Amino acid sequence: MERIISNKKNLELILNNLEEGIIAHDLNRRIFFFNDVAERITGYSKEEVIGKDCHDAFGGPLCGEHCAFKDDDTISAGKDRYIKDKYILNILSKNGDPRRIEMSVISIKDENDDFFGVLSSFTDQTDLFNLQLRADRLTSFANIIGNDGKMLQIFQQIRDVSGYDYPINISGETGTGKELVAVAIHNESRRGGGMFVPINCGALPEGLIESELFGHVKGAFSGAIRDKKGRFELGDKGTVFLDEVAELTKFMQIKLLRFLQEGRFEKVGGEKTISVDVRIISATNKDLKKEVMQGSFREDLYYRLNVIPIYIPPLRERKSDIPLLVDHFLKDFKRTDDRKPPRISKQAMSLLMDYKWPGNVRELQNAIRFSIVKCSDRIILPNDLPLEIKGLKNIENRRGPVKKLNAASVKSALKKTGGNKAKAAKLLGVGRATLYRFLDEYPEVLREVIM
């Protein structure tokens, strides 16, 4: 007996000296081990959790929707299946501090090879993440590429909001990646193991949108041959993403407002009230505040949706991310083709950096795909780019005098040549005399380059 007790104490001593937090519970979620590091990370003491159902001890599943024992059905199923998983979680400690942890979960067996519990080990990544942000070391986060200061702020926002269930409204131009940010928030949150249900409010037919959102019962209308779940019901315990939310009709705005206020709804043609637990993330490329002022969007709904606003900058405001994104899109090609991805020439990259990108990241991705198909020497040259991009500086390929020099192209050429006018004229495809005449007429261009 003393040997057994001694071995147990030695084991506890070892586990308490690990750098990882350790939680172990049986198949009924009763916690039987909780080491010192787990106490430090979560803020809960051993006395508060040992012997308790882990959901009761932490006020809900610590692992959120990733939990393999989140209800009676999964508890029953978990007794007969092997569990192994790894994921990132953003949790709130007992004191309300946000912590970013990396969690590994695995089934444990007894001497008869029968499952008798689950072992979770986790490390605190909070300080590392914050350090990487401060040092500008992050080049991607949650499948979003970027290192520009504006994007690092968004990475911080994603991490900060993931620990809460407040509604979020994401704004930004078309193609900036609003849905990508919404997915990142969902995956980083404790709902990450649940459903992410996207709804394009502008693409749903007006006559069917209520049924799509809330579902319908059999016989509710012509063609309703069976009961159907709506998107909100499908998203229970997960996240519903309302894209292009400004396109909702006034009638649907009222229905959505009621659902946000009460968390309940009735299916089309139904009488039974259904309650669901979903997080709402909305997005729009319009100015919702302006839509409210113009009377096309309800003010009360605006305040319900815009609890936490996140603005995604257009690509032209974070051009330093273009090389990172290009490299990412080229590597994507490698995963779908046996050939090595092509390289991009400095001249082609220069054109990409100078372009205004009205279609933002989506347009850049399409431009790289177009160029991969068109290039022949495994290196993307200016002529391999889409016409609207290479047309920006087709002046470089012209011969003879050019009548329409502009300040932007001349300034860019002078900067690239270090102020050498002869080389700049050659780059612009004009004679030196033509460039000199232009600079005589617009001397401020040269002054800006020199300064």
**Residue pointed to by tokens 């590597």:** 331
Name the token pair of 104: 């590994």
The sign of the CA dihedral 260, 261, 265, 268 is negative
Is 148 a member of any domain? no
pLDDT score for 410: 83
Query: What pLDDT digit, counting tens, does each position of 274-311 carry?
Result: 999 999 999 999 999 999 999 999 999 999 999 999 99
Residues 307 and 347 both lie in one domain? no
Residues 430 and 337 both lie in one domain? no
Domain limit, last residue, from 376, 393, 410: 393
Q: What DSSP assignment string belongs to 285-310?
A: SS-HHHHHHTTSS-HHHHHHH-SEEE
Residues 204 and 300 both lie in one domain? yes
**Number of structural domains found in the chain:** 4
Is this model's pTM higher than 0.85 or not? no
Let me know if 265 is exposed, middle or buried by CB neighbors in 10 A (0-12, 13-18, 19+).
buried
> Residue 334: pLDDT band by 50, 70, 90 thresholds?
low
> Residue 2: pLDDT band by 50, 70, 90 thresholds?
very low
Q: What DSSP assignment string belongs to 345-394?
A: -HHHHHHHHHS--TTHHHHHHHHHHHHHHH-SSSEE-GGGS-HHHHGGGG
Rounded to whole angstroms, the Cα distance separating 340 from 342 reads 6
Is 136 a member of any domain? no
Residues 279 and 225 both lie in one domain? yes
Helix (H) or strand (E) holding 208: none
pLDDT score for 277: 94
pLDDT score for 5: 41
Name the token pair of 258: 């009621």
Residues 92 and 78 both lie in one domain? yes
Residues 286 and 323 both lie in one domain? no
For residue 406, the enclosing domain spans 398-450
Query: What pLDDT digit, counting tens, does each position of 226-241 carry?
Result: 999 999 999 999 999 9
For residue 58, is pLDDT > 80? Answer: yes
> Residue 399: pLDDT band by 50, 70, 90 thresholds?
very low
Is 190 a member of any domain? yes
**Residue pointed to by tokens 């006034």:** 250
